[in-house]
Amino acid sequence: MTASQPPCEQQPTIDVLTLGGTIDKIYSPKSACLEVGAPFIGEISSFLRLQVSLQIKEITRKDSLDLDDGDRQLLLEAVERSGSARIVVTHGTDTLLDSAAFLASRLDFALLRKAVVFTGSFVPGCIDAREAAFNLGFALAVAQTQPPGIYVAIGGHAYLANEVVKDTELQRFIGAGIEEEF
């Protein structure tokens, strides 16, 4: 007599859409500068011991200051095409809120039924992986626990994207006068 094994549970899938930014920057010996490289999440996903499946899709490989509405349109189309109800967007912190606002103005999340979580880092993952890895892990958790909408998850805080501002002096995101965090 053999013991029957419980049926395999299918792992939930989170689409990770990457646009570049500081989180993905690497040192280029050729230019002696930091340049946007391959998505950092691809580098670290193998040791995160996740209980979700990640589908990593590179949209662009740019510094966020170089993103334009054409790039944001590509992001919008990727969100609309995604078969996952949970999406994490890695993005540079300089214009992260601009891209979140672009999506918010063009998507009806009540109909789309997706949670889209933006994250990034102030320090390149290749220089100090701690902030980037923490923010990615936190964003993955937020994506699994929040209802449909657009969020920013960074530095251990999660905000609705329209209720957060970037404090460039302190190098962090803070609530925009609304004291509700998740």
pLDDT for 166 beyond 80: yes
Determine the pLDDT at residue 110: 66
What digits encode the pLDDT tens for the residues 85-136? Answer: 999 999 999 999 999 999 999 998 667 799 999 999 999 988 889 999 999 9
Query: Model's pTM, two decimal places?
Result: 0.88
Torsion on CA atoms 62, 64, 68, 72, rounded to nearest 10: 90
CB 172 within 8 A of CB 155: yes
State how far the Cα of 82 lies from the Cα of 16, in Å rounded to an integer. 10
What digits encode the pLDDT tens for the residues 27-60? Answer: 888 888 888 888 888 878 777 777 788 999 999 9
User: Which structure tokens are listed for 43?
Assistant: 């580098």
Q: 173-176 — which CB contacts under 8 Å span 24+ positions?
A: 173/93
Look-up of token digits 């500081």: 22
38, amino acid identity: A
Determine the pLDDT at residue 131: 93
pLDDT for 3 beyond 50: no
**pLDDT tier at 178 (50, 70, 90 boundaries)?**
low
What digits encode the pLDDT tens for the residues 4-35? Answer: 434 445 678 999 999 999 898 888 888 888 88
The residue extents of the domains of the chain are 13-156
Q: 55-61 — which CB contacts under 8 Å span 24+ positions?
A: 55/13, 55/14, 55/15, 55/16, 55/84, 56/16, 56/18, 57/15, 57/16, 57/17, 57/18, 58/18, 59/17, 59/18, 59/19, 60/18, 60/19, 60/20, 61/18, 61/19, 61/20, 61/24, 61/36, 61/37
State how far the Cα of 121 lies from the Cα of 154, in Å rounded to an integer. 8
pLDDT for 1 beyond 50: no
Determine the pLDDT at residue 93: 93
Domain 13-156 falls under CATH 3.40.640.10: no
Mean pLDDT of the 63-71 span? 95
